[in-house]
Amino acid sequence: MERIYSSELGEYVGSRVRVAGWIHRVRRLSRVSFLILRDARGLAQIVLDESAVAGTIGGLHAESVVAVEGLVVANSQAPMGVEIRDPEVEVISAATAAPPIDLFRPILNSQLPTLLDHAALTLRHPRRRASWQIAAASLSGFRSALGAMGFVEIHTPKIVGTATEGGANVFTVDYFGRPAYLAQSPQFYKQIMVGVFERVFEAGPVFRAEPHDTTRHLNEYVSLDAEMGFIRDHTTVMDLLTFTIRGMIEAVRNQCGEALGLLDVAIPAVPRTIPAIHFADALAMVGDALDEDLSGEPDLSPAHERWLGEWAAREHGSEFLFVVGYPMVKRPFYTHPDPTRPRYSNSFDLLFRGLELVTGGQRLHRYDDYVEALAARGQEPGALDGYLEAFRYGMPPHGGFAIGLERWVAQVAGVANVREVTLFPRDLQRLAP
Amino acid sequence: MERIYSSELGEYVGSRVRVAGWIHRVRRLSRVSFLILRDARGLAQIVLDESAVAGTIGGLHAESVVAVEGLVVANSQAPMGVEIRDPEVEVISAATAAPPIDLFRPILNSQLPTLLDHAALTLRHPRRRASWQIAAASLSGFRSALGAMGFVEIHTPKIVGTATEGGANVFTVDYFGRPAYLAQSPQFYKQIMVGVFERVFEAGPVFRAEPHDTTRHLNEYVSLDAEMGFIRDHTTVMDLLTFTIRGMIEAVRNQCGEALGLLDVAIPAVPRTIPAIHFADALAMVGDALDEDLSGEPDLSPAHERWLGEWAAREHGSEFLFVVGYPMVKRPFYTHPDPTRPRYSNSFDLLFRGLELVTGGQRLHRYDDYVEALAARGQEPGALDGYLEAFRYGMPPHGGFAIGLERWVAQVAGVANVREVTLFPRDLQRLAP
């Protein structure tokens, strides 16, 4: 008999069916017992008689894999409105021990490090599974939105000869006896590819050897990158980002109804135009509000971003806020200055619920500007020859953005720590599983 | 005026339009000159008068970025059947020098190392661009096919604490003073995720520190991985792979008509059922045909695979051939043996036009089988605890496959060296660009 999924049971009332999955729980009540079976799509309730409980099922640990054939009966008391009666149970693969964590509890009550140590088990929990479903839907929405705008998917190397974003926060690889690095971003490559396809995107891993341990940072994460040519300035990129975020939310809405319900979260709304505030104005406003002298500060702290998030919600009814015009000194060498205020840049961050989610902006596109920008920072252009060649031979005004997937999912799911929504996080302490 | 793409010109005959792109070539004939403009979608022919040639255009190197406004006129002599007359040319970004390689030639005649050194420039060539278009379409077809079968996209860590496939071919990373490795495959993670979603896929980078220098190998490549639970055996995976390959080909056919034309290649046909031959029979047949004693050989050489590819084309009219049942000694520890002939495995390779393109098969799913398999190879299970936990707590029979994207594109495009179709290849010699 062909196996069906638990989510399809409602269509088979009155028929015998075969389901298969993991023993989520066996509930022994005084008169009746239930086997709750978990498969990829949900849960199924199976009514057990005494002999089944005493026999096959009684000897099995939770998480054992079984197939069950039985009759589908409507029962308004059952979780899905249906249950399976008169079951024949076949053991496919018995768990060798009782799981150290009870997956049947609605909310896992172990500490985060324990949950992560046992990821192979705990990711099976419906709520942990639900947060990755949001990630998967977001990826599909990201690609659909950009695909509809003519963007071409690229895959660029993660082992590189030169650190992309500069600085010390780079992992070193032994590359056949030579030092190489793990790419901190696909920045150089996506810019090069603007010269080829004008519009490109990549969803892939990036690596940051930042030695700090916060709830917002991972040392390896998934970056959703886009880059486009023939822009007016950073505002073209902001429009593209708004469109893309809208597509990601649409995909989450369409593909993750059940996951959102399980996590009890509301889907964010994207205003027609996301409000934008200049960095200098944001700084002045935060300084006034918190009675701090922030004039001349080159950056916003996480606390300042939270304040701005609340301000945007209050004043603009928006969970999203663009902060534009970050000071050039805080941005990488390829950043395009604001032509009217050259100390500030044509770049932006997008805050989502008070957290920096996206960085983007316009890049330099003239070869001479690169040579000058590198010289001003005391960097030799030599190591970047293969990258600078793109600008030597003609590049249009262009820009792009990078969305941190895990931060996005954490904010959508309303969790405090990105590790809670990352399949197998990498941080200062954690290299396994 | 809103810019249009070169590919849209046919819809604007009689109108003034704005196009933008790179100077592909300036052709000076005795009576008239042409500017050939290249944008993301194709080429546009622009008729220049004497003053333009003497003025703006004359001073520009090829690859300079320009915008052109002019009148679209039908002309059956023009490459696209239309051309732009009465142009006003605006220089957006001048190339600072003449490109060292002429992109206007139909086929780039430089040596491969030169083409790769100048990737930022040479990827702009229509034929090089076309081969990546096949890659991008294949990625989208891979995801659509698996998405339609209920597979969930995953992203798994590339920095790992333990080598996946064992052996010495692993790159070492300095992870905050500790040794870590670059993942040789997402194998362990995709198996763990079968316990969560039953069906998963990932398209991402994998890293092999293989110190050999062939036309088929890269040290970093894109692996298209899928894994599914509740299979009968490896034949379920072969059926899934056939469906997936068909979806990839369909996407290439639908999205890459022009690219296939430029590369002058025929789209491969997937037979209803891809022919399959057992490894032992393949070996005997090749041995007979080549008059070599191959009995007892544990593997097929590239030359043998080529012979088998020709045999499949001749005998079965198929460009694809499954070789099933590779000897267990040649397969990794997680491979499931053939229950009826335990020296052979429930695994397969898929040859495409005589080249190994995919490896796949059924995996062990019982915890005790893993402990035994590792012991038989003298490996301690301790380092794999986080992986083995999946099997300790119940896993269904499962299996999957991994397609090498670059090999796939090289075979579709009919090129001899995978580097020709890789954006920025990584090999023994090459770390940049």
DSSP B282-341: HHHHHHHHHT---TT--S--HHHHHHHHHHHHHHH--SEEEEE--BGGGS-TTBPEETTE
In whole angstroms, what is the distance from residue A348 CA to residue A109 CA?
39
In whole angstroms, what is the distance from residue B433 CA to residue B425 CA?
9
Q: B371-380, pLDDT tens digit by residue?
A: 999 999 888 8
Write the residue in A176, A397, A424 that is nearest to B157 by C-beta.
Answer: A424
Q: Nearest-CA distance from B264 to chain A in Å?
A: 20
Band (pLDDT 50/70/90 cuts) for residue A391 is very high
Q: B125-141, pLDDT tens digit by residue?
A: 999 999 999 999 999 99
Interface of B with A in 81-120 (CB under 8 A): 92-97, 99, 117-120
Q: A9-49, pLDDT tens digit by residue?
A: 999 999 999 999 999 999 988 888 999 999 999 999 999 98
Find the closest chain B residue to A21 by CA distance. B396
In whole angstroms, what is the distance from residue B326 CA to residue A275 CA?
60
pTM to 2 decimal places:
0.97
Q: How many angstroms from the chain centroid is the CA of residue B29?
A: 41
Please report, for residues A412, B35, B119, B161, B229, the alpha-carbon distance to residue B363 in angstroms, rounded to integers and kept in the order given.
36, 59, 40, 22, 10
Q: Which CATH number fits domain B121-421: 3.30.930.10, 3.40.50.620, 3.40.50.1000, 3.40.50.970?
A: 3.30.930.10
pLDDT of the residue at A212: 83
Choose among B289, B332, B325: nearest CA to B307.
Answer: B289
Per residue in A345-366, is it b (16+ CB within 10 Å) or e — as a string? bbbbbbbbbbbbbbbbbbbbbb
Chain B CB within 8 Å of residue A397 CB:
yes
Choose among A210, A433, A208: nearest CA to B161.
Answer: A433
ipTM score of the complex? 0.97
Q: Nearest-CA distance from A291 to chain B in Å?
A: 39
Find the closest chain B residue to A425 by CA distance. B157
Indicate if the pLDDT at residue B390 is higher than 80: yes
pLDDT of the residue at B247: 98
Q: Taking CB atoms and an 8 Å cutoff, what residues of chain A touch B365?
A: 93
Cross-chain residue pair A393–B97, CB shorter than 8 Å: yes
Find the closest chain B residue to A204 by CA distance. B204
* Beta-carbon pairs below 8 A across chains A and B: 263
Q: Taking CB atoms and an 8 Å cutoff, what residues of chain B touch A117?
A: 386
Cross-chain residue pair B92–A397, CB shorter than 8 Å: yes
Q: Nearest-CA distance from B394 to chain A in Å?
A: 5
Output the CA torsion sign for B78, B79, B81, B87: negative
Chain B CB within 8 Å of residue A122 CB:
no
Q: Nearest-CA distance from A81 to chain B in Å?
A: 23
Q: B408-420, pLDDT tens digit by residue?
A: 999 999 999 999 9
Residue ranges per domain, chain B?
Answer: 6-93, 121-421
Q: A211-242, pLDDT tens digit by residue?
A: 988 999 999 999 999 999 999 999 999 999 99
**Other Cβ atoms closer than 10 A to B415:** 17
**Does a cis peptide bond (omega within 30 degrees of 0) precede residue A332?**
no
Write the residue in B93, B192, B389 that is nearest to A396 by C-beta.
Answer: B93
CATH topology of domain A6-93: OB fold (Dihydrolipoamide Acetyltransferase, E2P) (2.40.50)
In whole angstroms, what is the distance from residue B391 CA to residue B384 CA?
11
Q: Taking CB atoms and an 8 Å cutoff, what residues of chain B touch A93?
A: 365-366, 394-397
Cross-chain residue pair A431–B211, CB shorter than 8 Å: no
Cross-chain residue pair A189–B423, CB shorter than 8 Å: yes
Cross-chain residue pair B124–A189, CB shorter than 8 Å: no
Indicate if the pLDDT at residue A96 is higher than 90: yes
Per DSSP bridges, beta strands B172-175 and B178-182 are: antiparallel
For A249-264, what is the mean pLDDT?
Answer: 96
Chain A CB within 8 Å of residue B227 CB:
no
Q: B81-112, pLDDT tens digit by residue?
A: 999 999 999 999 999 999 999 999 999 989 99
For A95-102, what is the mean pLDDT?
Answer: 97
Cross-chain residue pair B207–A95, CB shorter than 8 Å: no
Indicate if the pLDDT at residue B53 is higher than 80: no
Q: Nearest-CA distance from A162 to chain B in Å?
A: 8
* H/E element, B349: strand B347-352
Chain B CB within 8 Å of residue A365 CB:
yes
CATH topology of domain A120-421: BirA Bifunctional Protein; domain 2 (3.30.930)
Per DSSP bridges, beta strands B355-363 and B347-352 are: antiparallel
Question: Do the beta carbons of residue B40 and residue A149 sit within 8 Å?
Answer: no
